[in-house]
Amino acid sequence: MKTVTLNIYKFSELSEDAKKKAIEWYRSCEDYQPYYGEVEDSVKKVIELFNLKTGNYYSDIRTGHIEDNILQLSGARLYKYLINNYFTDLFKPEYIKTIDGRKKWGKLYICKYFTGMNGDRTHIYSKWKKWDNSCTLTGVCYDNDILDPIYEFLKKPTEKTTFQDLMEEIGWSIAKTYDNVEKWVNSEEYITETIEANEYDFHEDGTRY
């Protein structure tokens, strides 16, 4: 029997060449599916919201089943159509506070009631301040990435932009979102942060211990 002593290194202690090898190791074995799954959840919600259909890819948006009079809406008419049909999906009430028990809180507020281990609770929301559009479909930032064309139009409606145009832009947003996620999770910056957060150990040459 003999005793072998090994020197084990954290990522920050490796040479630049060893760091590159460690990054390539992580890139080759890591499963990024959870990130793509979150994007897909947002995509499915958007497609369902606007009653869209797709081809072989989610970004291949099909609108042939939607009536032409809707597809050609533009300007103020399109703005009103989006607000009347999708406002409660695109925006959510401003949260005020939570109180104990089941209580009404006046006509200017929305009350949502919940029963938990500690009894009934009432969540209070503003009935009028509904311009919060942060991740309203799934709670993940990809909602906003994909719906960006809609929100931008609502900020500044134009006569040139039709409902058809917005749906096509959503297709481009979907493709761009997938592309951005792929670039990010394969970037050295992301991988370095993840390796350091998980406190992986390495041999001197950058192979995983």
DSSP 157-196: --TT-BHHHHHHHHHHHHHHHHHHHHHHHTSHHHHHHHHH
pLDDT at site 117: 72
pLDDT at site 165: 97
pLDDT at site 98: 83
**How long, in residues, is the chain?**
209
Going 139 to 142 to 145 to 147, the CA torsion angle's sign is: negative
In one-letter notation, the amino acid at residue 85 is N
pLDDT at site 129: 65
**In the predicted structure, residue 174 carries a pLDDT above the cut 90:** yes
Give the burial class of 173: count Cβ atoms within 10 A of its Cβ; 0-12 exposed, 13-18 middle, 19 or more buried. buried
Higher pLDDT: 192 or 112? It is: 192
Question: Which of the residue ranges 30-44, 46-60, 100-114, 119-133 has the most confident prediction, judged by mean pLDDT?
Answer: 46-60
Q: Position of tokens 């041999």?
A: 203
Inter-axis angle of helices 142-155 and 163-185, nearest 10: 140
pLDDT at site 3: 83
The pLDDT mean for the chain works out to 89
Helix (H, G, I), strand (E, B), or coil: what is residue 96? strand
**In the predicted structure, residue 100 carries a pLDDT above the cut 80:** yes
**Which pLDDT band holds residue 28 (cuts at 50, 70, 90)?**
confident
pLDDT digits (tens, 9 = 90+) for 116-154: 777 888 887 777 666 678 898 998 999 999 999 999 999
The pTM (predicted TM-score) of the whole model is: 0.75
d(CA 41, CA 197): 26
Across 121-134, b (16+ Cβ under 10 Å) vs e yields: bbbbbeeeebeeee
Contact 130, 87 (CB under 8 A): yes
Q: Which of 88, 86, 108 is nearest to 96 (CA)?
A: 108
